[in-house]
Structure 1
Amino acid sequence: MLPRMSDLLPGQDSIDLQDFLKLRGVVETGGEAKFRVQGGEVRVNGGVETRRRKKLRRGDVVEYAGQRLTVEG
C-alpha cells in the first residue's frame, strides 16, 4: 500500500470542501461536488454542510456516500 499524501500543500492551512472531495476521488468533477454539497449530501464534523467553498482544516472529518474522511496535513 502506498503512503497517503497530505491533503494540504506545504504552507497551506486549509482546502475548499469541493476540492477535497475531488482530491480524495469521491466525486469526479467540480460540478458533481457542487451538486452534492449544495444538495445537503455532505457532512463536516457531524453537521450538514451546504457551502462548497467551506474551508477545511487538518483534522476535520467529512462524510459522504458512506465514507468518512479526515483532512490530513
Structure 2
Amino acid sequence: MKEAIILETKYMTLAQLLKEIDIIASGGQAKGYLQENTVFVNGEIETRRGRKLYAGTMIEIPEIGTFFMKEKGKKDASD
C-alpha cells in the first residue's frame, strides 16, 4: 500500500504517524513498536519515536506499506 499523509502542521512525529495509520493505539506504544519492528525513514532505519517527518519524507514499514508526507493544499504530478 502506498499512501499520502497530509500534514495539518509543519511536521508530524513518527509516533503520531504510527497512531494516525492505526499501527498503535497511543503514542506511548511507539517506543515498544520501534524496538520490535523495522521502520525506514527516507531509506534509513529509524528508532526514534520523536523523529520529525516533514513534507517530502518517505516512511516505509515492511508488511504495512509506504507513506509519503505531503503539505496540506499542495499538489504534485500524481494528483
Please say which structure displays the higher CA radius of gyration. 2
Q: Which has the higher strand share?
A: 2
> Runs of 5+ in structure 2 lacking a partner?
72-79
State the match for 2:48 in structure 1.
51
What do residues 5-32 of structure 1 show as CA deviations (whole Å, max 9, x unaligned)?
A: 72x21xx211100101111223333244
- Secondary structure of the corresponding residue to residue 20 of structure 1: helix
TM-score of the superposed pair, with normalisation by structure 1: 0.73
Aligned length: 67
Cα-to-partner distance string for 1:3-61 (whole Å, 9 max, x where unaligned) = x772x21xx21110010111122333324422222345111000000100000000101
Superposition TM-score, scaled by structure 2 size? 0.68
Unaligned runs of 5+ residues in structure 1 are: none
| Cα root mean square deviation, aligned | 2.1
Alpha-carbon distance between aligned partners in 2 of 1:27 and 1:72, rounded to the nearest angstrom: 21
2-structure distance, mates of 1:54, 1:44: 9
1:65 maps to 2:48: no
Using the aligned pairs only, state the percent identity: 31
Runs of 4 or more, structure 1, over 6 Å off, are none
